[in-house]
Structure 1
Amino acid sequence: MTTETTLPLEVTTAAQRFGENVRLARVRRHMTQEELAQACGITRKTLYALEKGASGATVATAFTVLWKLGLLSTAAALADPDADEHGRILEAARRPKRVRNPLDSDNDF
């Protein structure tokens, strides 16, 4: 009996778009799958799966491929906390309404 995990459509679509972008970057550099895979230390089948948007590729593999293509800096925007509007709203809601200085009897201010 196997348990198949169904990913949300948004995740599947994003993985496929990522794979298409990787493939396009590779083709623009006139690299074969074999050349890029070898340069990244992965198999051609792994690179093929990544380019097809398969869910089994690891983050490390994806970042290694981006690094080899010279695109690792584009990954800096992934999960950027400054771009997380929802998280910032939640954080602001948890802030205290006012801040009091702790009473310290040793200070003569």
Structure 2
Amino acid sequence: MWVRYYPLFGLEGNTLHKNSNTPRQVSDALTALGINIRTARVRRRLTQDELAMKCDITRKTVYAIEKGAQGPSIGSVLSVLWALGLLDSVKALADPDADEHGKILEAATRPERVRAYKVLDNDF
């Protein structure tokens, strides 16, 4: 069940799952990732047990990843992506070159001029 949650931290209107502190967008992204991983596994005709053995994790962990659970570690998720040959797609996540908002914030705090660097001598 989804409920509206109004925290004190300026995130008014975020929809959170009733039994979780996870924003709805995060839960939706985890679910979509799980569906994509399951689709890739099925296309490769791998069972959950076979994939788990390749990744050195349990079948329950593979099941949890495919269901979009929050519990599995990022290492387990990346291991599954590696076993499926999809690890290269992760490189675009949080790429600083694609962070337009961060670039704007950095440019706003950049000084207008740069002062010359003074070389200090060791003559006391």
User: Normalization by structure 1: what TM-score?
Assistant: 0.87
| Matched residue, 1:61 | 76
1:74-99, Cα deviation, whole Å (9 max, x unpaired) = 00011111111111111111110112
The count of aligned residue pairs is 103
- Gaps in structure 1 of 5+ consecutive residues: none
Aligned-residue sequence identity (percent) comes to: 57
Q: CA deviation at 1:100?
A: 2.7
Runs of 5+ in structure 2 lacking a partner?
Answer: 1-18
Q: Residues 27-46 of structure 1: CA distance to partner in whole angstroms, max 9, x if unpaired?
A: 00000111001111111111
Instruction: Give the counterpart letter for 2:40 in structure 1.
Output: A
* Residues 20-59 of structure 1 mapped to structure 2, 5 A cutoff: 20-59=35-74
Amino acid at match of 2:107: A
1:54-93 paired onto structure 2 within 5 Å: 54-93=69-108
Separation in structure 1 between the aligned mates of residue 67 and residue 104 of structure 2, nearest angstrom: 36
After TM superposition, give the deviation of residue 102 of structure 1 in Å: 4.0
**Structure 1 counterpart of 2:33, from 10, 18, 41:** 18
The alpha carbon displacement at 1:5 in A equals 3.4
Change (3 A) 1:23 1:99: same
| CA RMSD in angstroms, aligned pairs only | 1.7
Amino acid at match of 1:72: L
Structure 1 residue runs of 4 or more that deviate by more than 4 Å after TM superposition: none
Higher share of residues assigned strand: 2
TM-score when normalising by structure 2: 0.77
1:33 and 1:94, CA in 2 relative to 1: closer, same or farther beyond 3 A? same
